[in-house]
């Protein structure tokens, strides 16, 4: 009788142990299940800063004479920009680039026999950095007036920037996180499970493209500077525990 009772006790103990192990395995299996989603957030914004660049050139056989002419051009350009309403604080002239010019010489067979010095080429550059976008755009279109004054001025297209990018990125991250959670909740509901705690979150690529453009996204993140109106987007990959 004692042996029979002992066998029953051992049997019950084994069953209880199996149930405990099974429940532990089941709990471990469920707790390690995850739902992985990618949240997306986009926002249109208007640039608040413009950078416009231009260059001007003088050539001559005498270096000092060419340099003096270039500095006179610089003065005329500065006066022109200030006359258009651009403050002196927004105008920056860079150092002068100098190159020696040579003409190659060839014989009657087309073989190069040497070169001859033909003078110096000096190039100055000016940058206008301003928050008055409309004014700078207007001046960049009208700058051909300098050509009428005999200045060899080459104007580049304005580049547009936004000074509140950090705040914009934080706002987009918050919205991307909300979008990711909504996606995860939808998946969990349709699968008949509950959404657990956030396990992991990794920020994806931050992109800035021209608004309503067909601009391609890049792996490293596009950064549009040619459009005043832009669209910023960000992705956030997150893992949620499922239960």
Q: Which residue in 230, 82, 233 sits closest to 163, CA to CA?
A: 230
Is 139 found in the same domain as 117? yes
Decide: 123 and 55 in contact? Cβ < 8 Å. Answer: yes
Would you say residue 202 lies in a domain? yes
Distance CA(159)–CA(50), nearest Å, equals 6
Total structural domains in the chain? 2
Domain boundary among 113, 131, 159: 159
Is 59 found in the same domain as 147? yes
Distance CA(31)–CA(243), nearest Å, equals 6
Would you say residue 1 lies in a domain? no
Domain boundary among 113, 138, 159: 159
Q: What is the pLDDT of residues 72-91, one digit of tens each?
A: 999 999 999 999 999 999 99
Q: What is the pLDDT of residues 91-125, one digit of tens each?
A: 999 999 999 999 988 888 878 888 899 999 999 99
The reported pLDDT for the residue numbered 221 is 79
Q: pTM for the whole thing?
A: 0.78
Q: What average pLDDT does this structure show over 119-144? A: 96
| DSSP β-ladder status, 195-210 and 229-242 | antiparallel
Is 57 found in the same domain as 42? no
Would you say residue 17 lies in a domain? no
Distance CA(72)–CA(80), nearest Å, equals 12
Distance CA(196)–CA(202), nearest Å, equals 18
Q: Which two tokens stand for residue 8?
A: 């029953």
Is 139 found in the same domain as 71? yes
Q: What is the pLDDT of residues 24-35, one digit of tens each?
A: 444 444 445 889
Is 197 found in the same domain as 153? no
Domain boundary among 159, 174, 193: 159
Decide: 53 and 156 in contact? Cβ < 8 Å. Answer: yes
Q: How confident is the model at residue 8 (pLDDT cuts 50, 70, 90)?
A: low
Is 127 found in the same domain as 76? yes
Give 161 or 104, the one with higher predicted confidence: 161
Question: Please, what is the average pLDDT of the chain?
Answer: 87
Q: How confident is the model at residue 160 (pLDDT cuts 50, 70, 90)?
A: very high
Is 140 found in the same domain as 77? yes
Would you say residue 3 lies in a domain? no
DSSP the chain: -HHHHHHHHHHHHHHHHHHHHHHHHHHHHHHH-EEEEEEEEEEEEE--EEEEEEEEEEEESSHHHHHHHHHHHHHHHHHHHHHTT--GGGEEEPPPEEEEEEEEEE-TTS-EEEEEEEEEEEEEEEEEEES-HHHHHHHHHHTTHHHHTT--EEEPPPEEE-TTHHHHHHHHHHHHHHHHHHHHHHHHHHHT--EEEEEEEEEEEEEEEETT--PPP-TT--B--S-SEEEEEEEEEEEEEE-
Decide: 210 and 160 in contact? Cβ < 8 Å. Answer: no
Would you say residue 222 lies in a domain? yes
Expressed as residue numbers, the domain containing 143 is: 50-159
- What CATH number corresponds to the domain at position 122? 3.30.70.2970
Would you say residue 6 lies in a domain? no
pLDDT at 215 over 80: no
Is 173 found in the same domain as 123? no
């Amino acid at each position: 009788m004692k042996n029979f009772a002992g066998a029953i006790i051992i049997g019950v103990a084994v069953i209880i142990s199996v149930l405990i192990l099974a429940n532990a395995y089941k709990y471990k299996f469920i707790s390690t299940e995850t739902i992985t989603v990618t949240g997306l957030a986009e926002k249109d914004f208007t640039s608040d800063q413009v950078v416009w660049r231009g260059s001007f050139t003088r050539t001559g056989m005498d270096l000092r004479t060419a340099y003096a002419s270039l500095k006179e051009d610089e003065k005329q350009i500065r006066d022109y920009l200030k006359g258009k309403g651009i403050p002196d604080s927004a105008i920056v002239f860079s150092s002068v680039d100098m190159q020696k010019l040579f003409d190659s010489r060839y014989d009657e067979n087309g073989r190069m026999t040497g070169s001859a010095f033909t003078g110096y080429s000096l190039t100055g550059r000016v940058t206008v950095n301003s928050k008055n976008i409309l004014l700078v755009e207007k001046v960049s279109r009208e700058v051909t007036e300098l050509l009428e004054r005999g200045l060899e001025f080459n104007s580049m297209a304005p580049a547009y920037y936004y000074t509140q990018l950090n705040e914009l990125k934080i706002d987009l991250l918050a919205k991307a996180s909300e979008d990711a959670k909504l996606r995860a909740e939808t998946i969990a509901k349709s699968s008949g499970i509950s959404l657990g705690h956030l396990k992991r979150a990794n920020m994806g690529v931050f992109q800035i493209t021209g608004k309503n453009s067909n601009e391609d996204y890049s792996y490293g993140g596009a950064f549009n500077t040619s459009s005043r109106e832009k669209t910023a987007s960000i992705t956030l990959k997150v893992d949620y525990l499922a239960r």
